[in-house]
Structure 1
């Protein structure tokens, strides 16, 4: 009974992927006919078939050769995602090391502030982000999306849990041997905290690759839009190409997920295995 329930749950989770793969192999007429009830705005339900009546790769061909906007948005997504991840490497990792290994004035309050900001959705921070970005004259530039993403607090929290697990005795032994704080960070902290760093970067890649609200709020020029903005532009004539674009958009996310699965599992355990309120209380 349990196996049947888990199998049914797995099927429900995988059905959208099957839906996309099937739709991407349908011809334009078949896809439009199946989705007529949606695009016509009338009553009834959309129909669907597991196997296309006449399978074709036409949607993929049209997307690759006749849709230049797709590639522009794809590279915009790459630029935004890579820019955010590089910025997080430069800022989040040292911040996590500082919170994990040092005690300084206002340490507890600052870490609690990080936790509060981590719990806030984008909608809460959107107005303040907009005012700061406009004051910096970054509106309608990729910097308007990249800059707030660089200072996301989630990577700091995840990486900090792994840095805390490094034995203090190991660091003290390194200091006795004459190692400076910088050498300890690069030679001990980074190698031993690699699992947390990679898991945080994988989570942030998935979030940045699929972000939608930030580009909608801060980017007005279509040539700057990421690939996530391509999907809402769906009509009965472009349904097949939209399915094919969704499949292509899934590939980088799936590759990153599979490549970092082991580290991602450890990161999720660190995130959900440590109560933020208890951690904040221990930082004093």
Structure 2
């Protein structure tokens, strides 16, 4: 009986937490008339009451058809997001993986101080570094370009911190055995470090994707041209006339993130499990 109560409680909590997502998905299948009836009060200066239903009475794909067939600017912002996310993650891997390996496996002067600075920078919110970033990007003449978003992302300290923890947990005995067998540092990195640290690398990739796929502040400040905006800034002014399109766009954005999350879920689980490996 106790287990049933716990299960029921957890189920209710899960449904409550997921309710915004359920409302979003159901709203994307409603027509304008039904949306007006449900949320019209939100757009009428607070007159009346808004309501919602779990599933639409007359489901329609009109919103998705309008987005995919009649809204060419949607594909512009979609590919902007793909471009920003792809090059940011590739850059992070090229810079972050060697940096994390160096911090985890080598001793060098001022290592602790430098890594402490990494952590401090990671803990700083974007609002703190916004002005300095803007000044540097302006001096580099790359404001209002996608490079103004990609370049700071490449040197993100967050990905280094994540991968560092996984590289650090690789048993030292494995590294020493490889050195005794005559393996060079380069071979150890590519044939031992990267394979054993893959859960950490993939965890970093997934978390970075979720972060840069949903960027709002950086593109809003660094990108003045709306044709350069990512998908996260699409349809910032929602009206009752385009509410269905807004619901559909949000659903597509959400589904893309969910697909990536579930595709890399096994790597996240392996990464969590690998933290328990002891030498």
Normalised to the residue count of structure 1, the TM-score between the two structures is 0.91
- Report how far residue 33 of structure 1 moved: 2.7
Q: Output the CA distance in 2 between the equivalents of 1:59 and 1:168.
A: 56
Corresponding residue number in structure 2 for 1:91: 95
Q: Output the CA distance in 1 between the equivalents of 2:26 and 2:240.
A: 16
Corresponding residue number in structure 1 for 2:184: 180
Q: Output the CA distance in 2 between the equivalents of 1:44 and 1:130.
A: 44
Normalised to the residue count of structure 2, the TM-score between the two structures is 0.93
Q: Output the CA distance in 2 between the equivalents of 1:124 and 1:4.
A: 43
Counterparts in 2 of 1:45 and 1:95: CA distance versus 1, 3 Å:
farther
Corresponding residue number in structure 2 for 1:205: 209
Counterparts in 2 of 1:52 and 1:203: CA distance versus 1, 3 Å:
same
Q: Does 1:68 align with 2:72?
A: yes
Write out aligned runs for 1:154-193 (5 A). 154-193=158-197
| C-alpha distance after superposition, 1:152-195 (max 9, x if no partner) | 11111111111111122221222222211111100110001011
Corresponding residue number in structure 2 for 1:28: 32
Q: Output the CA distance in 1 between the equivalents of 2:76 and 2:114.
A: 40
Per mean C-alpha deviation after superposition, the further-off stretch among 175-184 and 45-54 is: 45-54
Corresponding residue number in structure 1 for 2:147: 143
- Count of aligned positions: 272
Corresponding residue number in structure 2 for 1:221: 225
| C-alpha distance after superposition, 1:223-260 (max 9, x if no partner) | 11000001423111000011111111122211110011
Q: Output the CA distance in 1 between the equivalents of 2:64 and 2:256.
A: 17
Gaps of 5+ in 2: none
Q: Does 1:152 align with 2:159?
A: no
| C-alpha distance after superposition, 1:174-224 (max 9, x if no partner) | 222221111110011000101110011101101110111111010011111
- Report how far residue 268 of structure 1 moved: 5.8
Q: Output the CA distance in 1 between the equivalents of 2:207 and 2:98.
A: 18
Gaps of 5+ in 1: 274-284
Write out aligned runs for 1:39-118 (5 A). 39-118=43-122
Counterparts in 2 of 1:2 and 1:33: CA distance versus 1, 3 Å:
same
Q: Output the CA distance in 2 between the equivalents of 1:231 and 1:4.
A: 38
3-state secondary structure, aligned to 2:240:
coil
Q: Output the CA distance in 2 between the equivalents of 1:52 and 1:70.
A: 25
Corresponding residue number in structure 2 for 1:278: none
Correspondence for 1:256 among 247, 256, 260: 260
Q: Output the CA distance in 1 between the equivalents of 2:42 and 2:69.
A: 28
- Report how far residue 263 of structure 1 moved: 1.9
Per mean C-alpha deviation after superposition, the further-off stretch among 63-72 and 166-175 is: 166-175
Correspondence for 1:37 among 22, 36, 41: 41
